[in-house]
Chain A
Amino acid sequence: MKTDPAGVLTGAHYLDGDFAAGEGAMAAGCRFVAGYPITPSTEVVERIARRFPMMGGTFIQMEDELASMAAVVGASWTGTKSMTVTSGPGFSLMMENIGLAAMMETPCVVVNVQRGGPSTGLPTMTGQADMMQARWGSHGDYELIAMSPKSPQETFDLMIDAFNISEIYRVPVLFMMDECVGHMTEKVIIPPAEEIEIVARKLTDKKPGEYWPYELNGGDIPEFARAGDGYHFHSTGLTHDYRGYPEMSAECQWDCVGHLVNKIHNNVDDIVRFEEEEIEGADVVVLTYGITSRVARLGIEMARDKGIKVGSIRLIVVWPFPEKRIRELAGKIKGFVVPEINLGQMVLEVERCAAGQAPAIGVPHPGGGVHDPNAIVEAIVGAAK
């Protein structure tokens, strides 16, 4: 289906990543945004607050991030595509209702323009230290999808995919930017509306009275009914059966939570997304995401100048993790190098997937800046030994 042209600012623009995120969301058909100001993400909602009134969208500045996330889940149940935007401290507050969105199977997008943490940390400076929080931040077992763009252009393009994939799998999609990508200005080409394919969640064609909100009918994803369409359905954050009715039993917990996890596991090959470069015959593979993928390029070239065969993988979808591919490569290479602006997060996942076949060497950085390429070279040299 084609998107609504009202949200599409076709043309070539110079935009920073935050504005590109806002434009991407509007182009994707997002028409409800609730947010609370926080550096370095605020420009996203400022952009939207300015443009929404001209396209039938509603922005509301809520009293906090707990409320923003709750409002987004509520709005999504009307079928209106919904999003919220934040950074670390707000992301922590959103965890409660990200769990609710996962449990109620509510499509929505949460943008986190990462800064240095923990706590108030480095409000204006970059970080990538919320990657594990994205995966595990709300309590209980569930799966969701997280993405990480490397540039304003990719932020725009990927935002459309983020909304689409969230509609398809009925999960929150966490859009994990970082301050560098958020605040860097580059050329962004926005295509004409008729070239933007969007997806809307599958609305049930059952009649009211025949419909149950969590019935699977053989598929992986339950059909959606919008609040206000006459279905009189019930949805809850409690463990529930196919009717959306609470049931407190281990059997129902298996069905309910097992389903939340399986709907992603069963489709992981369609969801994972990464970019590879010079992987064939590489001795060392550098795995990156977000801004670090750009910083690492220099390090990789410097190592190649030293005669080391270096390949690279850039994660675009970060969660679910490309487990199969990492395991496959681990049997063929001497080691992985994982630079990231945290003290070791995704490197743990690489290590887990490599399962002892090849070491995963982290290149930590606590945030507030990006890596010195020499640190990456050093790690590559170490891995190649």
Chain B
Amino acid sequence: MSAEAETQSAEAETQVEKREVQAEEHPVAPFIRMDRMPHIWCPTCGIGTVVKCYASALENLKLDLDKVAIVSGIGCTGRVAGYMNMDAFHTTHGRAVPFATGLKLGRPELNVTVFSGDGDLSGIGGNHFIHSARRHMDILVILVNNFIYAMTGGQNAPTTPLGANSSTMPFGNFEPPFNLPHLAASCGASYVARWTCLHIRRMTKAFEEGLERKGFRFIEIIAPCSTLYARRNRLGTGLNLLLFFVVFVEIQHGVDTREVGIAFQEKIICGKFVDDEEQTTFLENMNAHYERVLGDKYVSMPPEGGWIHE
């Protein structure tokens, strides 16, 4: 090796070393199971952005993570629980909400988040979703709406806009989709908001509010699925979908949720639609009711759960 080449390779080595020394931890790394990185999501998928905003919300609120639990169903979004560094459950398709109900009622001091996909929560889990909202169950539900069943390869979802293409509606979808904020609001959710993956700051703020409010809180995040929804509908990549959001999103806080349905590649109304801080929750209602009718005889479950130990 010539002297020159030797110096060059020595330089290259120091550079590599230098880079390692400078390697910085990602700001939300403490909230993520870094031992499970890299994650499974595709390039320009929106789910990672939602996770980042959720982690930022946890960080900003300085919540005691020991008392926060997260539950996912099945799907690309369903993988979120598996990457969060807290008590986390990856359950069955559609059953995250009732599983979370058990967690909350089994240990009432827990702050429980359900994090799952549109198909999981509003398709197979739709019945649990509406009943949980009706009961004012004390959970935060974050629904990532990518307009499709992504994990299984792009089949039609209850959220697929009319006319959009999916693998099971290869000639375009002719079933009207759910207007999810309206569904949640009309069933009794105390907090209802919708943002897209473009709205990092607003989404984070909504998660902070959602984590702090009580009752059934519902936040829908419109997220690009680059690999299936965007490609199948010839909409480009996830980045192109974000650019589309820049143009077509309208922010209308407090708007009547009947107005916020989504049509294919048309305007998407975002904002905070419901924020009822007065509403009482399932547990509050149950405790108050039993105290009223049973008086001193009523013994409520302790905050740390009804477990019996020595």
B175 at the interface (CB under 8 A from A): no
How far does the alpha carbon of A203 sit from the alpha carbon of B299 in the complex, in Å?
Answer: 26
Residue among A3, A4, A6, A70 with the highest chain B CB neighbour number at 10 A = A70
**In the complex where A56-B299, A73-B102 touch, is A228 in contact with B82 (Cβ < 8 A)?**
no
CB-nearest residue of chain A to B40: A246
Number of interface residues of A (CB under 8 A): 57
* Cβ contact of A234, chosen from B65, B82, B104, cutoff 8 A: B82
Q: Which of B85-93, B155-163, B271-279 contacts A (4 or more CB under 8 A)?
A: B85-93
A365 at the interface (CB under 8 A from B): no
Residue among B85, B95, B290, B299 with the highest chain A CB neighbour number at 10 A = B95
Contacts of B290 in A (CB 8 A): 53
How far does the alpha carbon of A198 sit from the alpha carbon of B309 in the complex, in Å?
Answer: 10
* Cβ contact of B89, chosen from A34, A99, A203, A236, cutoff 8 A: A236
Contacts of B98 in A (CB 8 A): 34, 62, 66-68, 70-71, 74
A64 at the interface (CB under 8 A from B): yes
Contact B307 A231 (CB under 8 A): no
CB of B11 to closest CB in A, whole Å: 40
B127 at the interface (CB under 8 A from A): yes
Contact A54 B105 (CB under 8 A): no
Contact with B along A216-251 (1 / 0, CB 8 A): 000000000011111111111110000001100000
B33 at the interface (CB under 8 A from A): yes
**In the complex where A56-B300, A97-B92 touch, is A200 in contact with B308 (Cβ < 8 A)?**
yes
How far does the alpha carbon of A200 sit from the alpha carbon of B65 in the complex, in Å?
Answer: 26
Contact with B along A279-312 (1 / 0, CB 8 A): 0000000000000000000000000000000000
Contact A56 B306 (CB under 8 A): yes
User: In the complex, which residues 48-74 of chain B have their Cβ closer than 8 Å to any Cβ of chain A?
Assistant: 65-67, 69, 71
Number of interface residues of B (CB under 8 A): 51
Contact with A along B279-310 (1 / 0, CB 8 A): 00000001000100010011111101111111
Contact B95 A66 (CB under 8 A): yes
A80 at the interface (CB under 8 A from B): yes
How far does the alpha carbon of A6 sit from the alpha carbon of B99 in the complex, in Å?
Answer: 27
Contact B310 A82 (CB under 8 A): no
* Cβ contact of B82, chosen from A1, A57, A100, A245, cutoff 8 A: A245
How far does the alpha carbon of A100 sit from the alpha carbon of B151 in the complex, in Å?
Answer: 20
Contact A53 B308 (CB under 8 A): no
A32 at the interface (CB under 8 A from B): yes
Q: Which of B106-114, B140-148, B262-270 contacts A (4 or more CB under 8 A)?
A: B106-114
Contact A233 B103 (CB under 8 A): no
B101 at the interface (CB under 8 A from A): yes
CB-nearest residue of chain B to A203: B309
How far does the alpha carbon of A81 sit from the alpha carbon of B206 in the complex, in Å?
Answer: 35
How far does the alpha carbon of A229 sit from the alpha carbon of B106 in the complex, in Å?
Answer: 13
Contact with B along A198-209 (1 / 0, CB 8 A): 101001000000
How far does the alpha carbon of A109 sit from the alpha carbon of B101 in the complex, in Å?
Answer: 18
User: In the complex, which residues 57-84 of chain A have their Cβ closer than 8 Å to any Cβ of chain B?
Assistant: 57-58, 60, 62-64, 66-68, 70-82
How far does the alpha carbon of A78 sit from the alpha carbon of B302 in the complex, in Å?
Answer: 12
CB of B2 to closest CB in A, whole Å: 48
Contacts of B298 in A (CB 8 A): 53-54
* Cβ contact of B299, chosen from A3, A55, A229, cutoff 8 A: A55
Contact A232 B65 (CB under 8 A): yes
Contacts of A67 in B (CB 8 A): 95, 97-98, 101, 127-128, 131
B36 at the interface (CB under 8 A from A): yes
How far does the alpha carbon of A31 sit from the alpha carbon of B106 in the complex, in Å?
Answer: 8
Contact B87 A231 (CB under 8 A): yes
CB of B188 to closest CB in A, whole Å: 14
A29 at the interface (CB under 8 A from B): yes
CB of A227 to closest CB in B, whole Å: 4
B100 at the interface (CB under 8 A from A): yes
Contact A78 B88 (CB under 8 A): no
CB of A210 to closest CB in B, whole Å: 14
User: In the complex, which residues 1-38 of chain A have their Cβ closer than 8 Å to any Cβ of chain B?
Assistant: 1, 3-4, 6, 29, 31-32, 34
Contacts of B65 in A (CB 8 A): 232
Contacts of A233 in B (CB 8 A): 87-88
Taking beta carbons and an 8 Å cutoff, which residues of A are in contact with B? Answer: 1, 3-4, 6, 29, 31-32, 34, 53-58, 60, 62-64, 66-68, 70-82, 96-97, 99-100, 104, 198, 200, 203, 226-238, 245-246
